[in-house]
Amino acid sequence: MPAPRTVLLTGAAGGLGTLMRSLLPEYGYTLRLFDMRPVEGEPDAITADLGDRQALREAVRGVDAVLHLAGISLEAPFEKILKANIEGTYNLYEAAREEGVPRIVFASSNHAVGFTPAPRAGEPLIPVDTPRRPDTFYGLSKSFGEDLAQLYWDKHGLETVSVRIGSCFPEPTGVRMLSVWMSPADGARLFHAALTAEGVGHTVVHGSSANTRLWWDLTSARALGYEPRDDSEPYAEKLIAEQGELDPENPAHSHLGGHFVNDPPIWPY
Ligand code: NAI
Ligand code: 15L
């Protein structure tokens, strides 16, 4: 596959989409933007819902790849998750198949496997083939997305890298995040690797920086050419002083998915 140049960025108005709009052009991409909300300062962005199959078909036409970030990004009532994340992701894959788009990079999440116990000191890192253990309807939708990606590779030859993102924010804001944080710059490095690596078929990778307190294995991400450069450790002293060490008896501290394992739905809209 020739290196992709024109990439459809769904979820362009969101937190991660905003970070990637500023970081990915440095890698030479031309971004076409898509979101149900207007993208500030971007009058050419496509404002449409993932439920609009015609808009999606036009949005993917002629692009070399899609970076699919759009969707509900926290726990929410099942009916909302069903529309945005399950049907919406299906609609995107159908549009990509119909228009011959060769690759999608799918924003999966640690919450697809959020009930996986966090490794204690000396235990092995969580492997990428750990059984799915979604911690929410949200995590379940990311499991669906990964299976959908596998189906479209096996049946239609449409490639996907499913990136199980840990926490991608400018800084880690909690003690758990010290283990799963992905700096925005490392996020751009990983997405670039996922967009350009040869012969990925459907590959699942963990998305984190090279954190000292890392919980999961980055081997499959590194195999794409990803070389993380950041580490959350400089934030550790301050966060632990403020919040204390993780308590192994607290389920929200002792599972990969953190508070998602026991929080009620929190999607604000
Ligand atoms: P966000 O909530 O800030 O952005 C999501 C964007 O998707 C929003 O701009 C929203 O308007 C758009 N969107 C939602 N439903 C839509 C629909 N039906 N049609 C069109 N657009 C729709 O979320 P964030 O943090 O930017 O995350 C981006 C993606 O990465 C999400 O899929 C999220 O699940 C995933 N992810 C993010 C992580 C993080 O640390 N930021 C961690 C793990 C996964
Ligand atoms: C996610 O999947 C969410 O989209 C993001 O907002 C964070 O909550 C992140 O996981 C996390 O686990 O920290």
Name the residue with higher pLDDT: 103 or 267. Answer: 103
Is residue 2 scored above 90 in pLDDT? no
Task: Please list the active-site residues.
Answer: 138
Ligand 2 center–CA 167 separation, angstroms: 5
Ligand 1 center–CA 241 separation, angstroms: 31
pLDDT, one tens digit per residue, over 30-77 is 999 999 999 999 999 999 999 999 999 999 999 999 999 999 999 999
Q: Please, which pLDDT band fits residue 23 given cuts at 50, 70 and 90? A: very high
d(CA 151, CA 158) in angstroms, rounded, equals 9
Q: What is the residue-averaged pLDDT of the chain?
A: 96
Q: Give the ligand 1 atom nearest the CA of 51.
A: 18
What pTM, to 2 d.p., does this model score? 0.97
Biggest alpha carbon–alpha carbon distance for the chain? 53
pLDDT mean over 77-95: 97
Ligand 1 atom 32: residue of nearest CA: 69
Domains and CATH numbers, the chain: 6-261 (3.40.50.720)
Q: Give the ligand 1 atom nearest the CA of 182.
A: 40
Q: What is the per-residue burial (b if ≥16 Cβ within 10 Å, else e) of 204-227? A: bbbbbbbbebbbbbbebbeebebe
Given this model, what pLDDT does residue 73 score?
Answer: 97
Ligand 1 site residues (CB inside 6 A) read 11, 13-17, 35-37, 49-50, 69-73, 84, 88, 107, 109, 165, 167-169
Given this model, what pLDDT does residue 265 score?
Answer: 65
Paired with 207 in beta bridges are 165
Ligand 2 center–CA 37 separation, angstroms: 20
pLDDT mean over 212-223: 98
